[in-house]
Structure 1
Amino acid sequence: MGNTSSMLTQYDIEEVQEHCNHAFSQQEIVSLYHRFCQLDRSGSGFISADEFLSVPEFAVNPLAERLLRMLDGLNFKEFVAFLPAFSSRTSLQQKIEFIFKVYDLDCNGKVTFDDVLNVLRDLTGSFMSEQQRQEVLTRVLEEAGYTPDSSLTLPDFMKILGNSDLKMEVEVPID
């Protein structure tokens, strides 16, 4: 499985399926493997940041740089393990865990006001002033029972986002 030129065996498919907690069917895993091989232009068995950025939809994503931190250098198994956050079969809790990782840039298990503010900057660009972003974020945190001085942990994120209807789904086309 390390070399993208080889074909997946049934064992490989089942192993990857287990690794991603059955978020994808066997057919979807085969399709993802073909897409992985297309992205891995160097044939190294890993996808580099530049190869990810060759996908136009990814390159224009305002969170692309944050996602690249999580994606750069993934092999196929790791690539598929990254994707369940975007599966309709994934629980809300798993999606929130993924979002938390995107916000927790320094991987210290805490998200600060500044961490969330940085994401808001990425998402809003010039459409909001810095003052507007700070006011909105302060209001949202206060409504959830937190202050701008709070450091949010994963359980805090669960509390804040636990009743939301997150739509983070990408359909995997079957070849």
Structure 2
Amino acid sequence: MGSNSSSVNNIPNAQELMQETGFSAAHILRLYERFECLDKDKRGQLRPQDFGAVRELAMNPIGDRIISAFFSPGQETVDFASFVRILAHFRPTETNQTRDGAKQEPANSRTRKLKFAFQLYDQDRDGKISRVELLQVLRAMLGMQVTEEQLQSIAERAIQEADLDKDDAISFDEFRKSLEKADIDHRMSIRFLR
């Protein structure tokens, strides 16, 4: 690890990012290499179109939503630290995780993973997944495999099952409750460190 730690010292805020995200020095180095590959202009900033080089995102039916999750509303670029913080959501949850001195819940906690997933649906950021937002995701994911009538039926059933307060939308708490038994760690993991 000697070479890793000496190289990681050349990455701005690397120690702080390792502490905050739980990534090892080797992971930070690997992510930095990936970031630099995506940063074709060598500006230290990525734009949404730079993510087009990631084959898995280009092939993902909701890849554009995943890419937009890297950017706050109105933000046009993302720096390395923000890139790492977002990717930390996809790091497996550790069963013996300690948070000594941590100011907030780790990005790879179940709750933070669910919040990240929720925002992929809640595109208008109003704190609810509307029927229209749900249908947009279903159309992107299922495309021509099912009819519009089937999509409407799936959306209707999903809202009926999850919408506990009967406001015709799914809040984060309802979203979390509907996914209580889901293996979020498995569903929200990517192999970006290979």
Give the TM interval when normalised to the shorter protein.
0.7 to 0.9
Identity of aligned residues (%): 30
Report the 3-state secondary structure (helix = DSSP H, G, I; strand = E; otherwise coil) of the residue aligned with 2:135.
helix
Q: Which residue matches 2:175?
A: 157
Report the number of matched residues.
166
Aligned residues: CA RMSD: 2.1
Q: Deviations over 1:121-168 (max 9, x none)?
A: 110010111110111121233233559852222111111112211322
Of 60, 82, 88 in structure 2, the residue corresponding to residue 84 of structure 1 is 88
Gaps of 5+ in 2: 1-6, 72-76, 94-107
Which residue does the alignment assign to 1:108?
126
**How far does the alpha carbon of each residue in 1:74-108 deviate from its partner, in whole angstroms, 9 at most, with x for none?**
10000011112211122322221111111111112
- Which residue in 1 is equivalent to 2:16? 15
CA deviation after TM superposition for structure 1 residue 8, in Å? 4.2
Structure 2 vs 1, CA of residues 64 and 173 (structure 1 numbering), >3 Å: closer, same or farther?
closer
What amino acid maps onto 2:161 in structure 1?
A: E
1:93-104 matched pairs, under 5 angstroms: 93-104=111-122
Aligned partner of 2:120: which letter?
V
**Secondary structure, counterpart of 1:42 in structure 2:** coil
SS at match of 2:128: coil
Cα distance in 1 for partners of 2:192, 2:31 equals 7
Question: Which of 151, 168, 174 is the equivalent residue of 2:188?
Answer: 168
Query: What TM-score do the two structures reach when normalised by structure 1?
Result: 0.84
2:64 matched to 1:68? no
TM-score (normalised: structure 2): 0.77
Q: How far, CA to CA, are the matches of 2:67 and 2:34 in structure 1? A: 17
Q: Of residues 148, 151, 166 in structure 2, which corresponds to 1:130?
A: 148
User: Residue by residue, what CA displacement relative to the aligned partner does 1:41-84 show, whole Å, maximum 9, x if unpaired?
Assistant: 11011111221002222111111221232235110000011112
Q: Is the 8 A contact 1:37 1:43 kept in 2?
A: yes
Amino acid in structure 2 at the alignment position of 1:9: N
Q: Deviations over 1:3-54 (max 9, x none)?
A: xxxx64277222112343x2x2221111101111111111011111221002
Instruction: Quote the Cα distance in structure 2 between the aligned partners of 1:105 and 1:112.
Output: 10
Equivalents in 1 of 2:153, 2:114: separation in Å? Answer: 23
The answer as to whether partners of 1:141 and 1:147 remain within 8 angstroms in 2 is no
> Which runs of 5 or more residues in structure 1 are unaligned?
1-6
After superposing on structure 2, the runs of 4+ consecutive aligned residues of structure 1 that deviate more than 4 Å are 145-149
Q: 1:172 to 1:126 in 2, by over 3 A?
A: closer
Letter in 2 for 1:48: R
